[in-house]
Structure 1
Amino acid sequence: MDNQAYPLPSSLFPLANALSNGIALHRDGQVLFANKAFSQLTGYAPDDLAKLDFWALFPPEVQAEARQRERLGPDDEPVPARYEALVQTRQGEARWVELSLSQQAVQGIATTLCILVDITDRKRAEEALRRVHTDLEAQVENRTAELQQAKASLEDDIARREGAELELLKRYAELTELNCLLHETQQQLVQSEKLASIGQLAAGVAHEINNPIGYVSSNIRSLQDYITRLFQVLDVYQATEAALPDAARARIDKIKHEADFDYLRDDIHELIRESAEGTERVRKIVQDLRDFSRSDTAQQWQAADLHMGLDSTLNIASNEIKYRADVVREYGAIPLVECLPSQLNQVFMNLFVNAAQSIPDGRRGTLSVRTGHAGEQVWIEVEDDGCGIPSETLDRIFDPFFTTKPVGKGTGLGLSLSYGIIQKHHGKITASSTPGSGTLFRITLPVHQPAEPGTPE
């Protein structure tokens, strides 16, 4: 193909051949000019291109639209067109090109200017990117499906566990309605709650302390008697000092002054008295501890002084209370009450400990204990000025296993067991509370237990 035969100024041939993009001019499919880059991209020599239909190089869908554009009338505004197409080179290699078409008048001849840009590498990169994107989407879909499956499995497991918990609570409620199992369960749980309140080793420690305290108390009484006798002897010696020689009296006076004899004589009685009071207090604490820890295995009802039980329990709980609150006793005149004393002591213990623990850190509170008598009933009130109980949970405080304390700080059985014990005594326990102001528990008990059916009066 002789470039000079093309309708293109000869001065533009070197410039066109120097371009890296393929450039060609055609008219009605006949190639009039093609630069070197166009020949290299298509694989056809210029002479071969002159013999080809230009559009045979491109897919049919590109041909149809491009030919339509070429048929625009002379008054129509030519619109440049740009296509991406897969071109088969003469060697059979498929290459992606970007084809730009525009109508041009060259030396008075209407032609179509074609510019080819090789975009094969870009298209391959895009295809690789699409494959990666597709793979990632597939992985995301697979992972999402796995997570959804795991979520469904977890939800099923949670539902099963919740169902099991509900079934457990239902079973517990059913068991508590059976009197024969209720008595046995309460005995075990009451004893367990005692151990949780005063410590696992309380009863054992009390037993171990009791014997040596007995020795010490007995020895202090004997020591007091011995010292009294010794002072009687000293009084006799002191009465005879006037008959002694002056030198002997001076020596005795010096020794008595150095030993501060008069102070020792007065203080030794006070020391023995304080020691006796201390051992008596220890003995009382040990006795309270033993009484509190003793299990009512025989379930023997007896007439008991509730004031004694309250004082004994306050003494046992003093370590829990004394750093948080001052105890105010407002006891009224009440008769002896037929009861199981140690079980009522357990109720008192739960109320005292709960009251002390409800008082916030940083301030000292007040724990008030009141008693009274009305007809054939006695009442006991335990009131604190702690943080109080919210109204939405107040109705649930006697439910088994319900607790507002942190995990590991409470079993949720204390008030439930207390409620059961009071019910067993044919009494009533109620609670009223104002959040931020404190809580009041009131227990009402009959003075005499009603006779069981079939029991002779």
Structure 2
Amino acid sequence: MQSTSEHKELRLRKKLILLFLIFSLVPLTLVGIGAYLVGNELIYDSVVSHLQSIVLAKSRVVTAFMEERAMDLRYLADTAYLDDLEGETAIDAHVQNLMARKEIYKRIEIVDNSGKILAANGLESVADDCDYRQNCISEALLKREYIGDIYLWEEMKIPVIAISRPILNKLGHGKYALIAYVSFEHIGARLRKFEVGETGEAYLIDNRGRFLTQTRLGGRLLQDTIPEVSRNIYMSGPGISRHTDYRGVTVIGVSEKIPERNWILIAEQDSKEAFAGIRYLGIAIVIIWCVVLVLVLATALAISHAVSTRLRDRYQQIIDLKVYSESIVAALPISVAVLDDDLKILTVNRAFLKDFDLAAEDVQGVALQRLVDNKKLVQGVKKTLQTGAVFDERTLECDLDRKGVRYFNAISVALHIGSQTQVLLILNDVTERRQMDEQVQKTERLSSLGILTAGVAHELNTPLANVLLYTQMSLEEIKDDDEVIKKYLKEVEEEAKRGAAIVKELLEFSRQSDLETNVADVNEILDNLLALVKNQCHLGKIEIARNFDHSIPRIKIDLGRIQQVFMNIVANAIWAMPGGGKLTVRTSIDKKKGSLQVAISDTGIGISKANIRKIFDPFFTTKPPGEGTGLGLSVSYGIIKKLSGRISVDSRSAADYPDASEESTGTTFTVELALKDRIVNA
């Protein structure tokens, strides 16, 4: 019982914890997922926005750089007219001045349409590596500015770009070109200064995907190219791309085209580093979720423990109350039973089992009508079940299988338990009370009848004595040869004697004399009595069985009167077995009551239910006329009452049970005498 209760409590606690976790963690999980998604988007937008701002800023740097170089050449070309080229010293002075002020110029030269250098300043090797000199001259003769592609100056291993501008005379005609070889390393240095974390970088590529500037992470100038997939993405226009870069690393990149050039400025950062904030956000959310889980679990454990403890206490109170109520019901001295809607017994108390002489397993699930043979009771209980009306009936006669006829006060009450209706049946066995009431009534009747009988007996005794006297005197005086008269006189004498015997019994019935006290052995009294009727029983085919308790002590009693009681009962038992049978005499001591019991049983015809109530009434007899006066049991009843004892009868009649066998019918008279103050010390 305890383990079952603990198991149920454990299951309840698990359910409470599970429900608490579900209702707490599911919303928290959804909030965490939402926060992660929002944070992911915000971090992504932040990274992209930062890269875009860098690309725009650096693209402006590149554009400004190129515009400055164009302005420098424009200024130099505008100061050097064709008419002044004869003064080479002046041109050289301008070139030297420009190169001195700006180290990015590696060589400046003026060439004619044949490629002849008219004036120059700077290292010649930088011009020798340029494949675009002729393009510069051709465009200048057409009066157009020209910017070549970036190439690698092998001597210095730096990127250089050639820029040209025509030199015009005062009339606007020109046949010379001003060519400047500009170091692009300055732009590369400016781009390499872009640092976002450890992996962020910005660089330029051309339309073939070659690196035009040195990268932070190892891309070789004008030799290495970015992957074709990345190039196609960047060449398709300004935008955002997430791809694998030249190192084979997944990066997030933003690109921007340089105006008027086939250059693309790219700003990239490794995705792992760029979106580390997302990873940290996820870790933070998981940590917070775990912390909340621990807190929620601890709270759930505390709450479930408190709830289960309170429920356990309340459940224990209910159990205690149930046990208390059941103990009260079980201790009630009256029979209590609970019936279901089919009038089958669900539970009973100890008094019910005792009153019906049954074991608990014998009544469980048994229909009421099988235990109690009383239609009125069954119908009353059914009415209670159907209408809820209380059934209250007094002194119901019920025939029980094991205890015969008993009398009960019955009350039935409807019990509504959920959707079910049950019946509480209370049976109070009033058989003994009824018998006591009947005995009191009999005693009162017998007392009144005794007074009347005493007067009648005295009034009849004298005439009967005279009749008997004169009859006897007549018989003595009559002649021997007058047989007819003698016969009639003898019949009168016999009837007079019979009348005198009846009067004697009436006087005995009404006699109020004191009891005589003798010391006797009850077993011996009964044994002597049975010896007297032994021959009569043998002739009537009646078997005598003795079942004596030899531990019964000798007692103080009126020997003559107790012999008269036993003789009356035995005589009636022999008369009730005309076809033979068995006469059983049993003696015993009831230690609980402290009494001596003598039971005399026969297997005769029995006494019907209708007659069993009258057997102790004076002048009541079931014998044919002339065979009994009906005073034997009345006298016996009176004697036992005077001896402060009790006499009872239990009978099963063939008239009431026509299908019963001969062995199952019969009558048992029980005489009970209190042993207190009767026992004689040895």
Please state which band the TM-score falls in when normalised by the shorter chain: 0.3 to 0.5
TM-score, structure 1 length as denominator?
A: 0.34
TM-score, structure 2 length as denominator?
A: 0.23
Q: Which has the higher contact order (CA 8 A, sep 6+)?
A: 1
Rg bigger for which structure?
2
- Going by fraction, where is helix more abundant, 1 or 2? 1
